Amino acid sequence: MKKLSYLIIAFFTILLAGTNLKAQTISSHTETNDTCSTVGFIVSSTGCTSGQTVKIYFGDGTSAVSTAYCSGSSGSAIFSHAYSASGSYTIKEVLSDATGGLDSVTFTTTVSFCSNLHVRLYLDVNGNCIKDAGEPNLCIPVTVAIDSAGYPIDTVTMTAGISYFTRGIPGTVYGFRLVSPPAGLSLTCPSSGVIHSTILSSGMLASVEYFGFQCVTSSSFDLKMYAAFWPALGGLLANTAGVTVNNSSCTGTPAVVNFEFSPKYSFGWVSPPSLSYTVTGTSVSVDVGTVGAFTPKSFSVGLIPVSALTIGDTVNSTFTVTPITGDSNPTNNVIIRCDTVRAAFDPNRKSVTPTGDIAAGTKLEYLLEFENDGNDTAYNIHIMDTLSEYLDINTFQMGGGTHAVDIIKYVGAGKNILKFDFPDIRLPDSTHHDYCRGSVAFSINAKSTLSPGTTIANRVGIYFDTNPVVMTNTAYSRIPLPTGVKNNVALTRVKIYPNPVREELTIKTDAGSYQSMTIYNIIGQMILSEKVNQAATKIDVHALNPGIYYLSLKGTNGAKTIKFEKQ
């Protein structure tokens, strides 16, 4: 009888062991395009034991093995692989422990190398269809239609130029067709109005192609203005308005900007001080001189608070550029702002018009401003703007700026990223306050399907040469809740810890507030995405490279982004 009992116990022990093995399975796998030829793989498993491994066959004759990281009742392993050619690859992932294979998954992935096709716009002064030294780049918006192998795929606006980001097979031909030249300019090169560029093999750079323009004498003009005011308790140049005026016409137009400011302030100064201006009560008119397509004008106005400011108080401002009579589009001559007093001012900033509550589908105008507050000239500056998912990338329109700027638009993988590149800008340092600042503006529509309570939050990273990124403030717009509906978003509590983190990040929220979590790196690339279905969610981050990351939570209570550091 005792022997039979031992046999029964042994049988159930083997049965339970087999059940435990069966429970350890590959639960999910995620792919990320890290670079143009490198693909990242994240393999997750249900059940995890010490020494458990994941082996991945990349489909090109190579493989790799990684020990799974166990966290609670799950495991994970992260791989990164560089492919030598684009194409379709069969991937196999095998989960094993000391007893052998536990589970495997086979799937197919497509690797497409990327390429940037470069198109630039300039003033062809001598009409030789060659970009000669001293011939300026355009600073006003131009619309170009793009096709791939003859099929229309996109329409973009640009000023100085664009590096068009593509993924495809080498040899694919893209066409860039000028839709219509700006007022006061005529296209001289190419005469067909179409530029063709070809995706080359990996590692080869596409040549830069040019649209050349010449000036046409015309009385037509279109003055357009970008302006912002930043009320703050402190900080360098706090309570300063920044204004940039552009003109779509090559023929210069004398322009005057009138800035009507809040009675909470008195006039302080105008910079550059060489500009002529007059002050009447709470209004200052600045004569910026002649503005043309290649000569945008920028200036600043400083104000002095009449009494102590209060954080959260509102400040109203109105900017008007004249003449309006004769302007081909007078709708962009006036900007009305309602700004909020902040604790501190930062010259590297992002602002949005209109501010505050908006309706779904509203056209939003963003102004990105930067200042070289270092101690040496900045030769190359670029801005990375990871757009909110609540913005419609198809409505993006380039506005203008203080310097020639190239645009790169990365679209896909759930994220839309705009890169504004100022090559060879040679921006002086902060000892030259009149000349060390720059800006760029664009417009984009909020999605028309947004629900009440949605918050559109956007910030950018500014890169000065090889220095660490400078992150701006966050510009907010919001679809208001209907009157009488309780705002649960403001009541939602979110806590993440530890921060900085080494191995495991815990997210604690009000139960049911958010349903999904996504982690992005500093330039907006998606690293990891998971469901959030409990009050406390634990995320394995041990395999992330040290640095700054952003955790985005989404759900019925809207969206919230929190920064954390991986050590």
- Asked, for residue 78, whether it belongs to a domain, the answer is yes
100 and 60 both lie in a single domain: yes
Coil, helix or strand for 327? strand
Q: Which residue has the higher pLDDT, 13 or 184?
A: 184
Q: pLDDT for 30-63, tens place per residue? A: 776 545 667 888 888 888 888 889 999 999 999 9
- Asked, for residue 263, whether it belongs to a domain, the answer is no
Q: How far is it, in rounded angstroms, from Cα 509 to Cα 503?
A: 20
What was the pLDDT predicted at 9? Answer: 42
- Is residue 3 packed enough to be buried (19+ CB in 10 Å), middle (13-18) or exposed (0-12)? exposed
504 and 444 both lie in a single domain: no
Q: Give the pair of three-digit tokens for residue 327.
A: 């302007």
Least Cα distance to 291 among 157, 139, 121, 434 occurs for 139
545: Cβ contacts below 8 Å, ≥ 6 apart: 566
Q: How many other CB atoms sit within 10 Å of the CB of residue 174?
A: 22
What was the pLDDT predicted at 490? Answer: 42
Phi-psi region of 99 (alpha: psi -120 to 50; beta: other; left: phi over 0): alpha
Is residue 170 within 8 Å of residue 113, measured between CB atoms? yes
Domain that holds residue 454: 346-484
Confidence of residue 22 (pLDDT cuts 50, 70, 90): very low
Average pLDDT of the segment spanning 263-275: 93
How many domains is the chain partitioned into structurally? 4
- Asked, for residue 170, whether it belongs to a domain, the answer is yes
- Asked, for residue 234, whether it belongs to a domain, the answer is no
Coil, helix or strand for 543? coil
Q: pLDDT for 478-500, tens place per residue? A: 888 665 444 444 445 678 888 88
Q: pLDDT for 75-97, tens place per residue? A: 888 888 888 777 789 999 999 98
Q: The domain spanning residue 211 has which CATH number?
A: 2.60.40.10
What are the CA-CA distances from residue 359 to residues 365, 456, 550 (Å)? 14, 12, 27
Residue type, 248: S
469 and 437 both lie in a single domain: yes
User: Which among 184, 215, 246 is the end of a domain?
Assistant: 215
Confidence of residue 236 (pLDDT cuts 50, 70, 90): low
Q: How far is it, in rounded angstroms, from Cα 353 to Cα 319?
A: 13
398 and 384 both lie in a single domain: yes
Q: How far is it, in rounded angstroms, from Cα 175 to Cα 147?
A: 5
356 and 476 both lie in a single domain: yes
Is residue 165 within 8 Å of residue 410, measured between CB atoms? yes
* Three-point CA angle 117, 119, 124, nearest 5°: 160
Q: How far is it, in rounded angstroms, from Cα 147 to Cα 145?
A: 7
Q: Give the pair of three-digit tokens for residue 521.
A: 């790196």
- Asked, for residue 361, whether it belongs to a domain, the answer is yes
Is residue 242 within 8 Å of residue 348, measured between CB atoms? no
- Asked, for residue 502, whether it belongs to a domain, the answer is yes
Q: pLDDT for 395-427, tens place per residue? A: 998 887 777 788 888 765 567 888 888 887 777
What was the pLDDT predicted at 492? Answer: 55
86 and 211 both lie in a single domain: no
- Asked, for residue 310, whether it belongs to a domain, the answer is no
pLDDT over 70 (residue 253): yes
351 and 479 both lie in a single domain: yes
Backbone angles phi, psi at 32, to 5 degrees: -135, 135
- Asked, for residue 36, whether it belongs to a domain, the answer is yes
479 and 350 both lie in a single domain: yes
Cα 357 off chain centre by = 22
DSSP state of 452: T
What was the pLDDT predicted at 432? Answer: 52
Residue type, 461: G
Q: Give the pair of three-digit tokens for residue 276.
A: 């002529």
% of the chain with per-residue pLDDT over 70: 85
Kindly report the length of the chain.
Answer: 567
Q: The domain spanning residue 561 has which CATH number?
A: 2.60.40.3080
Q: The domain spanning residue 384 has which CATH number?
A: 2.60.40.1530
Q: pLDDT for 432-475, tens place per residue? A: 555 567 788 888 999 988 888 888 888 888 888 878 788 888 88
Least Cα distance to 367 among 385, 381, 380, 379 occurs for 385
pLDDT over 90 (residue 20): no
H or E element: which one contains 7?
A: helix 2-23
Confidence of residue 114 (pLDDT cuts 50, 70, 90): confident
Q: pLDDT for 322-374, tens place per residue? A: 998 888 888 888 888 878 888 776 678 888 877 778 888 998 988 888 877 76
Q: How many other CB atoms sit within 10 Å of the CB of residue 349?
A: 21
User: Which among 215, 248, 277 is the end of a domain?
Assistant: 215
User: Which among 91, 111, 131 is the end of a domain?
Assistant: 111
DSSP state of 481: P
Least Cα distance to 51 among 39, 40, 65 occurs for 65
Residue type, 344: A
Q: How many other CB atoms sit within 10 Å of the CB of residue 445?
A: 17
- Three state DSSP letters for 120-187: EEEECCCCCCCCCCCCCECCCCEEEEEEECCEEEEEEEECCEEEEEEECCCCCEEEEEEEECCCCEEE
